[in-house]
Structure 1
Amino acid sequence: MRNPLGVLLLLLLALQACNPARAQAPRTLVRAEAVRGHWNDASPPATGWTPVTLMDQWQTRWPEHDGVVWYRVRWQQADAHAPTGLLLDYICMAGAVYVNGSLIGRGASLSEPLSRAWVAPQYYLLDAPLLKPGENELLVRVSGLVAYQPAFGTVTVGDPEQVQALFRANKRVRFDLQMLDTAIGAVLAAVFGLFWLLRRQDTTYGWYALNGLFGMLYGLNWVKASPWPFSTTDGWQAFVAGCYMAMAACYLIFLLRFADRRWPRTERALLGVAAVVFALALALPQVFGPHRNVYVMPMIGLHYAASAAFMVWALRHGRTDQKVLGLCIVIPLFTALYDFAIYIGLVRADTMIGSFASPIMLLGLGFVLAHRFAATMRRVEGFNAELQREVAVATGELSAMLTQKHALELAHSRAGERLQLVRDLHDGFGGTLVGAIARLQQAPEDTSKADLVALLKEMRDDLRLVIDTTAQEQASLAELIAPLRHRASRLLDAAGIDARWQVEGLDGVHLEPAHSLDLLRLLQEALTNVFKHSRARCVDVRIEREGARLRMRVTDDGVGPMGMASPRADGGGAGFASMRLRVQRLGASLEVRDAAPGTELRLDMPLAA
């Protein structure tokens, strides 16, 4: 072993020769041949093949061709037994894949409604006996419509692990990021839609939620593998274009609201155009699908122009949150220009890079709106705290005022009660006392003891009325009448007079203390006259409420009127003159008439509302 290094090199070369699969690096094939076919073709035409460079968009070569184009790609395979990875970068719309004449993959629908193979790359693992040594042939049948950039992308063959890694990276960009973008948009739309429902006056959240909703529907164009629920590709593409129009209109109004601006005419025009286009796209998909650029491109221009204008305005004049939103727009604005170039065919590529920037923009927008909502809530919480402090101070002041007012009212009430008692004693009992004194002064010296006792009883009854009305100031009229009824009934029964009482509807009647006293004195005076002068055997007392009026009737069967030939004032308020004075204070009417036999007294008095 004179040269161990040479032996080691020979061993490494032998190992590499025994593992040809690892020696076969991935190769990207860009040269192919293409030929037009028909919708129902099961195999390609034998003639008419044209050399093309992949990726190939056939509308540039056959601008009127809707249908099938066959693509043929050949490559050299050193070892047919070595597993080989096959990556088809892009097929638009639907495709069927053959290797050496054997079908290895097929779209769900190769005719309308076309399946949508372009949303993700396709990977296949090839092995013997499918492969053969030397030249191998890949045949791809592509079904497409010229209005939607039908195309076939590059082909990559080589080591399965490396090709599959390329497939995963490509799929991550073209499909997974788009799916993530759509999911983030849907979540943010739902969250800020809930914010708007909780705070209807701030329509910024509502317009962002609508923008997110239509943006999610528009984003489905990059992840859906079929045009369902539409029966044609035109129907789906018209729907997607209509969603973009609605999304852009809502986005522009959202920018206005975020800038604290309202342009009613412009907003109505935007919404009107978007609504009309959306409705027509659904009604006439065969027109609005293939010709979507006619109305979508002006809206794209307006979309980008408004974004740029908002960015400039926010950086110059905006608040912090508006500046952050302006910065969030910068990167998506530039990536959108590149994607727009792909959309209109200026750039031949199969991957739009907006999927990289869109999640960043969505998260930035979400952060800005969440920050705005949090700031609003902080202002509300601060206002609530300040309001609570002010309410506490006001409550304390009001409590002190109410306590002071209550004390004053109690003092005033007590003073009023004392004054009322003095007035009642002066006007009622005082008059009775003065009359009694006058009667005693004018009475003969041989006045009987019975007359003196009767006079004192009259004074006692008047004093009881004053006490009853003062002690039961809050009582109803029925409760005030009850003591008088009891005393009068006992007095009349002792005199052999049958007293029949009928009191109705007085439980809820409350009069002022002075009015209650006047009414009770009237009733007492009427019954006293019956007792003293009528020589009656029975008396009917009826007191009732009729609507807003109080009616009282006292009827006896004596010699009336109430045994009196003329008005008298026998002291103590007895007599018709005293009765009429009380009736006048009550605002009532009094009628005393002959009831044949006997006397009837009628009182009609209005009740306060």
Structure 2
Amino acid sequence: MSPPIDLPPRPRSRRSERVWLWVGGVLLVLLAILYRVSLPAPMPGVFDLQRATASLPLDPRTPARAVSLPHVLDDEGPAWWDRVDYVLPWPQALGEPAPSPRRLALLIPRVGMGMRVLLNGEEIYRFGWEAPPDRTVNATWFPHLVLLPERLLAERAPDNELTIQVQAQVLERSGLWPVHIGDADQLIPRYQTLHFWQVTGTWMMAMVSLLVGVLALVMWRSLRERLFLLGGIASLAHAVRMVLSVVPDLPLPYDTYFFIHRVSFSVYAGFFILTVEELFGRRLRWVRLAAWALIAIAPFWMLWILLLQDYSLYRVWAGAMATLAGISLAWAVFDNLRRRQFSDEHRLVVVVATFTLITAVRDFLVVQLNFPGDADLRWTSIGGSALMLTMGWVLVDRATEWARAVHRLNDTLAQTVAQREAELRTAFQRLQLAERQRVAEEERRRLMRDMHDGLGSQLVQTLNMVRSAGAVLDRGPIEAMLAQALDELRLTLDSFEPMEGDLPAILGTLRRRLGPALEAAGIELRWEVQDVPPIEALDSRGVMHLFRCLQEILANVVKHARARRIIVSTWLGDDHIVLSIEDDGVGMPPPQARQTEGRGLRNVLTRAAKIGAEVRFYDAHPGTGVELVFPVHGPTPESDSDWLRRGA
């Protein structure tokens, strides 16, 4: 998962400025159109059947009685919660001769749950009749158009008998609503309109909710902003509820269907309240607590309803959700207005939410409480779709504005970084110049020190010898000392040659300088130097340190070892490079006869440590061997002089 992006809080979109006025105007026009379309209007040749005779075939002791439509079986006693037969009166006018042949049809806008239609005792239509208990038939959201076969019609209108048998489902407000019968050419367009409003519109709302939910969660995954997560969950819960509403045959027992359908609606309401509260940015603690309580209590409340089989408990729950949503929205609006932080984005959400609330209240009054209006045409699909589209637009607009803010911050950051890079580049150039000056000054001091300790000391000794000789000079010692001084000068100058850590080349230079002196002392120099990788520590200073180490080691061999041969070799180990100097002299003294470290050997250990080399001494049988080990990788080792220490 990607880390959260630190974005500026709640940016205001300039593109959406005053858009709420245009949207509000469009919604007002849409309300007027909905009102006009939903006015009850008679259809020529069509009769509305609003009364029926209801009987209970499974309970013959209960007499049949006349009922008004809509007749909701949940409002009756438990005896009505199984199967009910409705016998509808046949309109007398349908028996009159028509000027032209016409087809007759029956339009049932709403019925539930399973049902079948009988004309003069013969079945002509069924929907979900005798469905198995592990499936749920959802007939209440679908209008049904039944063509009446002409062959079954009686010659006299009073002789026709129309029966609609309904299989009730408690908690689903089963029953029968007003039925239309008459000219099929008039009822088919009406059926298509109802199907579009009740089924197609619901599917559209489900798809819009699903799209908004997925889009919000994708943006949340990238931005890690809480608003997108809350809006995405609310939209997906609403999509689940809508899909369950318009699938006619669900492979679920009814109790499971009821639980998922109502809990998803509660989750939608709770997260919608949280989304609005987050969008307005008020951080109202009581609103958040109430919304989370609504979400947490919903599953237990639905189980309680299923246990008691009491639909009035769901009415209470739906009223509580609507009240909480209305109060939360009103309080957020009031608080933002009081603080003068009511943006155009907030106005847009309030306008669309108010439109959605109006559509929901209208459907509740007309469909549930039988207020005047066309109960077959529901406005909630339009209102819900408008709200989901608006929330999606707000989320996209918010993400776009934040992305622009991030781009602006990135541009500013890039300019700042470029400015800092230029400053750092200038400072680095100054440091490089200062470092070069420091290195040059240090090299000058080192050169002066080496020349003072080496060449200067030789020249001073020669000068003292000349002064003390008087009139007679012995040329031999003087020439030897001047030659030694000249070799010291050449050795110092050789250390400045650019050899780039090439150990064989460095040793070759030393052989050229010291080889003649060894031969003059009667010592054979055997050369077994192999190619090895460059050693970074052997710069000009490192070369001089190595020269001094080898010079001291070879001087000790000449003075003390009484050797005839010296072997110089190099090789590459697993993680180190080895330089070995081995003689065939008298060898190392026993531990009890060893002296403590002298000045010369201390200088060897000190200089070897400065170039990262470990010094090892060993018995060569005969003679003595010295190894300088340079690590290829890893920490610099410490020099070992245990061979000089007395044994226990």
CA distance in 2, matches of 1:272, 1:462: 92
1:64–1:319 CA distance, 2 compared to 1 (3 A): farther
Report the alpha carbon displacement of residue 377 of structure 1 after superposing the two structures with TM: 1.1
Question: How far 1:47 moved relative to its partner?
Answer: 9.1
Deviations 1:305-325 (A, max 9, x none): 223333444455422212221
Q: Which residue in 1 is equivalent to 2:436?
A: 410
**SS of the residue 2:537 aligns to:** coil
Offset at residue 387 of structure 1 (A)? 1.4
Counterpart Cα distance in 2 of 1:60 and 1:595: 113
Query: Partner residue of 2:496?
Result: 470
Q: Distance in 1 between matches of 2:543 and 2:493?
A: 12
Match 1:304 to one of 317, 326, 347: 326
Shift of 1:353: 2.2
Equivalent in 42, 46, 70 of residue 26 of structure 1: 46
Give the C-alpha shift of residue 500 in structure 1.
5.5
Alpha-carbon contact 1:238-1:282 (below 8 Å) kept: yes
The residue type paired with residue 464 of structure 2 is A
Q: Which piece of structure 1 moves more, 327-336 or 339-348?
A: 339-348
Give TM-score scaled by structure 2 length. Answer: 0.74
Match of 1:329 among 353, 362, 365: 353
Cα pair 1:472 1:480 within 8 Å, conserved: no
1:557 and 2:557 are equivalent in the alignment: no
Amino acid in structure 1 at the alignment position of 2:233: L
Structure 1 residues 431 and 494 mapped into 2: Cα distance closer, same or farther (>3 Å)? closer
The whole-number CA distance in structure 2 between the counterparts of 1:116 and 1:491 is: 112
Instruction: Identify the residue that residue 643 of structure 2 maps to in structure 1.
Output: none
Unmatched tracts of structure 1, length 5 or more: 1-22, 40-44, 562-575
2:509 paired with 1:483: yes
Superposed CA RMSD: 4.4
**Which AA in structure 1 matches 2:69?**
L
**Structure 2 vs 1, CA of residues 305 and 84 (structure 1 numbering), >3 Å: closer, same or farther?**
same
Task: Report the AA paired with residue 304 of structure 1.
Answer: G
Residue identity in the other structure for 1:426 = H
Contact 1:539 1:556 in 2 (8 A): yes
Which residue of structure 1 lines up, in the alignment, with residue 205 of structure 2?
A: 181
Does structure 2 retain, via aligned residues, the 8 Å contact 1:32–1:53? Answer: yes
Cα pair 2:237 2:268 within 8 Å, conserved: yes
Report whether the alignment pairs 1:400 with 2:418. Answer: no
CA contact (8 A) 1:68 1:144 kept: yes
User: Does structure 1 residue 209 correspond to structure 2 residue 235?
Assistant: no
TM-score by length of 1: 0.78
Residue 402 (structure 2) aligns with: 376
Aligned counterparts of 2:621 and 2:102: Cα–Cα separation in 1: 140
State the Cα distance separating 1:584 from its structure 2 match: 8.8
Aligned residue number for residue 130 of structure 2 = 110
Indicate how the Cα distance of structure 1 residues 287 and 455 shifts in structure 2: closer, same or farther if over 3 A, else same. farther
CA contact (8 A) 1:67 1:143 kept: yes
Give the match for residue 4 of structure 2.
none
Letter in 2 for 1:125: L
Given that 2:566 and 2:581 are in contact with CA atoms closer than 8 Å, whether structure 1 keeps it comes out as no
Deviations 1:166-217 (A, max 9, x none): 11122222222111111111111111111111111x1100100000011111
Residue in structure 2 matching 1:52, options 45, 49, 67: 67
Corresponding position of 1:95:
115
Q: Which residue of 2 aligns with 1:170?
A: 194
CA contact (8 A) 2:116 2:123 kept: yes
What is the aligned partner in structure 2 of residue 359 from structure 1? Answer: 385
- Per the TM alignment, residue 66 of structure 1 is displaced from its structure 2 partner at its CA by 1.0
Distance 1:166 1:591 in 2: 106
The change in CA–CA distance for 1:281 and 1:447 in structure 2 (over 3 A counts) is: farther
Does structure 1 residue 196 correspond to structure 2 residue 239?
Answer: no
Q: Does 1:123 align with 2:140?
A: no
- Deviations along 1:584-604, whole A, 9 cap, x unmatched? 964989999x99998999999
Say whether the 8 Å CA contact 1:188–1:209 is kept in structure 2: yes
Give 3-state SS (helix, strand or coil) of 2:80's partner. Answer: coil
The offset of 1:244, in angstroms, is 1.6
Which amino acid in the other structure matches residue 259 of structure 1?
F
Alpha-carbon distance, 1:51 to partner: 2.0
The question of 1:240 aligning with 2:255 is answered no
Q: Distance in 1 between matches of 2:369 and 2:296?
A: 28
Task: Say which SS state the counterpart of residue 356 (structure 1) adopts.
Answer: helix
Q: Quote how far apart the aligned CAs of 1:32 are.
A: 2.1
* Alignment size in residue pairs: 565
**Is 2:110 aligned against 1:83?**
no
The residue number in structure 1 matching 2:592 is none
Deviation at 1:429, TM superposition (A): 1.9
> In 1, Cα distance between the equivalents of 2:306 and 2:153?
44
**Match in the other structure for 1:17:** none
If asked which structure has higher relative contact order (CA below 8 Å, sep 6+), I would say 2
Which segment is superposed worse, 460-469 or 547-556? 547-556
Partner Cα separation in structure 1 for residue 206 and residue 241 of structure 2: 9
Indicate the SS of the match to 1:32: strand
Alignment of 1:404-483 (within 5 A): 404-443=430-469, 451-472=477-498, 475=501, 480-483=506-509
> Which one-letter code corresponds to 2:280 in the other structure?
A
In structure 2, C-alpha distance between the alignment counterparts of 1:243 and 1:360, rounded to whole Å: 20
Q: 1:72-112 CA deviation, whole Å, 9 max, x = no partner?
A: 12123334953123211211212101222232211134354
Shift of the 60–599 alpha-carbon distance from structure 1 to 2, 3 Å rule, reads closer
1:350 is displaced (CA, Å) by: 4.9
Q: 2 CA distance for matches of 1:155 and 1:596?
A: 121
**Which amino acid in structure 2 is aligned with residue 496 of structure 1?**
G
State whether residues 495 and 540 of structure 2, in contact with CA within 8 Å, keep that contact through their aligned partners in structure 1: yes
Q: What is the CA–CA distance in structure 2 between the aligned matches of 1:52 and 1:235, rounded to whole Å?
A: 32
One-letter amino acid matched to 1:99: L
In the alignment, which residue of structure 1 is the partner of 2:82? 67
2:198 maps to amino acid: R
Tell me the percent identity: 23
| Cα deviation code 1:483-502 (max 9, x no counterpart) | 22454345424543234678
| Alpha-carbon shift at residue 376 of structure 1 (Å) | 0.8
Letter in 2 for 1:177: G
1:254 aligns with 2:275: yes
Pick from 212, 229, 232 the counterpart of residue 251 of structure 2. 229
* Greater mean alpha carbon deviation, residues 381-390 or residues 545-554: 545-554
The 2-side partners of 1:591 and 1:53 are apart by 113
Structure 1 residues 92 and 558, CA gap change in structure 2 (3 angstroms)? closer
